[in-house]
Amino acid sequence: MSRSFKVGVLAAAVMAVAPAAQAFEAGNFVVRGGAVHVAPDDSSDSITLGGNPLLSGADSKVTVDSNTQLGIRATYMFTENLGLGILAATPFKHDINGGGDLSSDLNLGETKHLPPTITLQYFPMSSSSKFQPYAGIGINYTVFFEEKTSDTLTGAVADEYKSLGNVTGTSLDLDDSVGVAVELGMDYMLSDNFGLNAALWWADINTDATVTADFDNGTSAKTDEFEVEIDPMVYMIGMTYKF
């Protein structure tokens, strides 16, 4: 019996008795980082002031553009099949553009938001599988901040309401949002600790918005509150680290 054959038999025997590498087990923390792209499926109510269109003859609505940021997600595994996931990211910045009768090329303002999301995740595969698909459902809480209106919007409002005085500025207020979030994703482990990740979410994000115009005589005029539905698809691709 050759020496190389003996070595091969010994290696096979060791592999047969050695435990299989575990992908995810109870007590593991799984951290994922990568690019996160938010693509709103947006719609809005018409913007009115005292029940009348904000701009004469125009069904003024808004749209929200897409944005990509750095995303960080962490999962704590309760069992090899159940985990609690948390999504965080650097602040997303969105331009707010015209909708309805207003051109989508017309910039009306901008906002930033943070979308912390908590989901209960289910991993159907055995912990020994390198490929780990998962599905999750949970809650999204979106915080809007640094809302701004554009000079274009301020100028249009000033022309429309000059009979009330000279408009010195406009402002935008967006309420925070709480809604359902669902996700699908997969990890493919390249080693015991490192792997690849891809995931997508849908989040129910609705906000009530108000535009305020300030006049030089100290008065102001607020639009009627209008709802903006953002309801984005969120895509992420990145790396996984388990410890």
* Structural tokens at position 163: 């009979």
Q: Is 68 exposed, middle or buried (0-12, 13-18, 19+ CB in 10 A)?
A: middle
Q: In which band, very low, low, confident or very high, does the pLDDT at 49 lie, cut at 50, 70 and 90?
A: confident
Residue 98 confidence (pLDDT) above 70: yes
C-beta separation of 146 from 94 below 8 A: no
* Structural tokens at position 14: 């060791």
Containing 32, the helix (H) or strand (E) segment is: strand 29-39
Containing 43, the helix (H) or strand (E) segment is: strand 43-44
Rounded to whole angstroms, what are the CA distances from 155 to 98, 108, 158, 213? Answer: 14, 10, 5, 11
pLDDT in tens, 180-223: 999 999 999 999 999 999 999 999 999 999 999 899 888 888 88
pLDDT the model gives residue 18 = 39
pLDDT in tens, 50-86: 888 888 778 889 999 999 999 999 999 999 999 999 9
pTM over 0.85: no
The domains found in the chain, sorted by start residue, are 21-242 (2.40.160.20)
pLDDT the model gives residue 201 = 95
Residue matched to tokens 């000059």 = 162
